[in-house]
Structure formats: C-alpha cells, structure tokens
Amino acid sequence: MNDSGRKLLIVDDEPTIADGLQLLFCEREEMGLEVKVAYSSKEALGVFAEFGPDVVLLDIQIPGVTGLELAGRMRAQHPAVKIIFLTGYDYFEYAYKAIKQDAFDYILKTEGDDKVIAAVTMALDRIAYEQGLQSQYAEAQARLATMFPVFRDHLLAALLTESSPDADTMFRAMAELDESFTPAQRVLVLLGRSCTDHLLLPVKGLVQLTVEQILRTQLHPSPSQIFNASYGEDILWFLVGRDSEPGLPAVPVPLLEDIQTILAERAGCKLSFVLAREQVNWMEIGRVYRSLQRTLAIFDLCSQEGIAMEGERYSGESCLAEEEECADILRLLPRVELLKTHLQNGDLKSFRGLLDELCRVLSEVRGGYPLHAMELYLAAGKALLGHLNVTRLYSALPGDIDLGLLYTPTRLQGWPERAGYLKQLGRALCEAADAERRFNAETTICRIKDYIGQHLASDLSLNALGRATGFNPSYLSRIFKRDAGIGLHDYITRRRMELAQSLLTYTKMKIYEIAQKCGYDNTNYFIRIFKLTVGMTPQEYRNRHA
C-alpha cells in the first residue's frame, strides 16, 4: 500500500479524458492521492511548479509545447518525478521518444482504466522504494560520525605499519570528522607494554583509558587531543598539540612512575613505558614506533617494569653489576659453538657442563642493557638448532618444547625463564641423543654379529670387520665391548667354538675340515683353542657327544 499524501497531476487537452481520469483516482480513496488536472501545456507548467506532483499522467500529443518537451522541463525542475505518457496512437516513434525522455511508462488511452491505475500504482511504489533508499543513506550519514574510532584505528594501524598507499586520502576523510588528523599536525608518541602476562581485553581497555585520563588532567598545558590505540601486545598514546601552543608539554618521568604504581595496585598490571624523544607529524609515527619497539627490546622492558626515553633508559643504578655480567657473557660467547661440537661427538657430560654454566650466567642477568645477554642466548639457540637440523631429532623432543623460542626470546618473561628454557631444551636434546646413540649402537652390533655369523670361515680380524662394516676398527672394538658386554675377539672365538661343537656332534667331518670351516688354517692351533674353551680336545668332545 502506498503512503497517503502523494500528488498526481493529469495533463490532457481533452477535458473529458482529463476529468474522467481525475474522477477515477479520486474514487480510489485507498491510494490516498491528491489529484489536479491541467488542459494545456502552459497551464500544466504553472500547476506543476505550484503543486509539485509525484506522478504526472501526460498526453504526449498536447498542443503547443508537446508532451515530450513538457516532460523534459518538468524533470529539469523535479528530477524524481515519475512521468507516464498517454497517447491515442500506437506508434513506435512515440514510444521511442518517450523512452528517450526517461518516462516511467507509456500507455495507450485505449488500454482501459485498469492499465492506467496499475501504472500509477507502480510509479507510487517506485517512489516509496527510492525514498526508502534515500532515508537509509541519510541514516548512514548520521551514523558516520559514530564510526570515527573505527576509521581512526584503521588509519593508525596503516600508519604504524607504514603499509597504507592511500594515507593522504584517508587523512582527507578523517579531517572531515576531526581536525586533529592532518598530516602536518605534531604528535608525541608514548608506548606501553605489559611486562607480565598477556592483558585481557577489559584490563587492556582500562589501562588505555586510565593513562589517557591521567595525562589529560596532569599535563599543562594539556594536549588538544589524546588518542589511544592497541596494536598487538602494545598500547600507544598519541598526544596531539594545540595550534596556539609552540609545542607539547613534556611528560615527566615521575608522572609515568605514578601511573605504573596505580596500575599495579588497582589493575594488577605491571607496565613499561617508552616515550618518543621528539614530536613528529602523523606520517612519521611508523618510524617512531619501530624505534620505540627497539628501545623496549634493548632494555628488556618486555619482561621487567621500567621507563625509557627513545634510545635511552631512565635509571639511576650503577653500571658495576652490568659490567660484571658483560665480563661473564663475553667469556662464554667464544665457547658457545662447543655446545654443538660436544653433541655431535656424543660428549654429553661436557655439553651439560657448558650449558649449565651458560644458563647460570643468563639467569643472573640484571643489568639495564642486556644486548650481550641477548647475543649469548641467540648464539646458544643457533648452536642447538644447528645440531637439530643435522640430526633431525625434532620428533624425539617432548611436545611442550617450542623451538620458536630459540629465536624469539622476548616471548619469555625475563632472563631466568629464558635460561630455564635453554636448560630444558638441552636436557631433552641429551635424552634424545642418548636414545639415538643406543639405537644406533644396537643396530651396529646386530650388523656386526650377523656378519660374523655368516663369515666364521673367513678373516674376521678387526681390519677385515672394519672394511666390511664401514667402521673404524678401534671404534668398532670399543662400541662392541661397551654395548655387547664382551670383547669382539672373545665373541668371535665363542661363535666359532659353538660351530665346531655342532659339526663334531652332527657330522662325520674330519677335525682339520672342521678347523677350516671355523676359520682356522692351523689344525693344531684350533685344537689348542678348542681345549682351552671347552675343556677337552675335539676328538674327546666327539667321542662323548656324537
């Protein structure tokens, strides 16, 4: 159903038709139309200007100014008007011209009242639809200002990452909402990072608003605007200067210390701050953000509460402790690569000793400039990761060990935790290496035993076994004694004597033939070894067991 209050203008030079149509629509009260008529083009223009109709039923062949020309003038005054042409001629030329005039419909007078009513109804429905769209657009425009924080956060994220190719376009759009966002506006950036656990969203929101409110009330003269933004684990505050002031007020360190205290007491949150050294324009905050992050990492403020100026820590502590730490770290740095060497050589005792010493030094790091400690940690991580890449022991490690921490130490809270992680990984590597060694040794022993069993009549000297198995003779003898629990020579003798006993018992082979079968070219030597091993000569053994 169409809304009431719509207006219909009927233009026809034949009063009978015009008046008949007026009566037709007046009788249709449910359409809620106010209807007026005009009998000439001149009268029609006057009524149109005064009446302002929504729909016009227009005779295309009206004398004077034609219906087509009249439609053009009406649309120039009121572009949204819906014009329905009426004609008594079913000519394509008229229909084509009507379409060119962007008419809503084209009706023959002979088509009847129902066709006319249907066309007007469709025109009114179209008007209602278009007005609905206009209303929705107006509502969206009204809500645009409420979306300023969303646009602002999007712009800030693009500026912080220096990834927006259309920052200038965004600034122009933002300036329409807030004059603080102009590329030349001077801004001071303050970075905050929790140095304990990951902040839950409600706590992070409370921190953002608390710091903003304190800075707004305590700084004199106060900034014209303070924006805050959350980006990953970082919280940033942007202090925007006033045009009437030469610069922004300094942010005193004692004020930041007081903020740290109240956040720790009330919100249970330990926060580190890094303040930019100077004001910059909005287009430079990405560069400043990277610099503040570097300062945060250099002074290890991700794991211990502190305050720093961009590139310089605020601290009154003596450098003596730091110098002592540096001496220990510098002493260990050249030895770190030995971790990998000890693992590759199977010297787990030396590996554990060096790693324990390294972890002890790292766990005691307390200085304010731990770059050397970070170098030591990363060097140790490189050595351990290098061993893993060579041995492919990844799957042998416990599932709770995150190898990514080897090159992202800032994910761990403080040096004691980082040292503990290295020790845990080192212990797991020792266990994996020991298990691998045992497995390899067992495999090697099985290979040696199989070879011996199949070649008892052949040369089984250490050199011959080394050539056959691909191992160093000395290493072969050592690991066989260590893992099999018997010397290699004694094992070969035992296997040969077992074969000799079996042949003496179950065959009629001559003694010298059995000696050759067991790898002895000298029969007398075979008899002597057999008697020493079994306690009787081969013939005595045959007589007793054959």
Residue 510 near residue 527, CB atoms below 8 Å:
no
Reading phi first (left if > 0) and then psi (alpha if -120 to 50, else beta), residue 246 is in alpha
How many other CB atoms are found less than 10 A from the CB of residue 145? 10
Residue 23, classified by CB atoms within 10 Å of its CB into exposed (0-12), middle (13-18) or buried (19+), is exposed
pLDDT, tens digit (0-9, with 9 covering 90-100), for 319-367: 445 556 677 888 888 899 999 888 888 788 899 999 999 999 888 886 5
Mean pLDDT of 109-132: 88
Residue 371, classified by CB atoms within 10 Å of its CB into exposed (0-12), middle (13-18) or buried (19+), is middle
For residues 150, 153, 154 and 158, what is the CA-based torsion angle, rounded to 10 degrees?
170
pTM of structure: 0.44
Sheet with 105-108, strands from edge to edge, namely 33-38, 6-11, 55-59, 82-87, 105-108
For residues 221, 238, 153 and 272, what is the CA-based torsion angle, rounded to 10 degrees?
-130
Q: Give the separation between CA 176 and CA 165, rounded to whole angstroms.
A: 20
Architecture of domain 179-313: 2-Layer Sandwich (3.30)
* Percent above pLDDT 70 for the chain: 86
The yes-or-no verdict on residue 529 having pLDDT over 80 is yes
Q: Any idea how long the chain is?
A: 546
Indicate the pLDDT class of residue 99, thresholds 50, 70 and 90: low
The yes-or-no verdict on residue 297 having pLDDT over 50 is yes
Q: What is the pLDDT of residue 515?
A: 93
- CATH 3.40.50.2300 in the chain is located at 6-142
Of the candidates 285, 282, 288, which has an alpha carbon nearest to the alpha carbon of residue 178?
A: 282
What are the φ and ψ backbone dihedral angles of 81, each rounded to 5 degrees? -65, 145
Indicate the pLDDT class of residue 433, thresholds 50, 70 and 90: confident
pLDDT, tens digit (0-9, with 9 covering 90-100), for 245-261: 666 668 888 899 999 99
Report the topology of domain 6-142. Rossmann fold (3.40.50)
Q: In CATH terms, is domain 455-545 a member of 3.40.50.300?
A: no
pLDDT, tens digit (0-9, with 9 covering 90-100), for 268-296: 889 999 999 898 888 888 899 999 988 88
pLDDT, tens digit (0-9, with 9 covering 90-100), for 457-501: 999 988 888 888 777 888 788 878 888 889 999 999 999 999 999
Indicate the residue type of 287: R
- CATH 3.30.70.1230 in the chain is located at 179-313
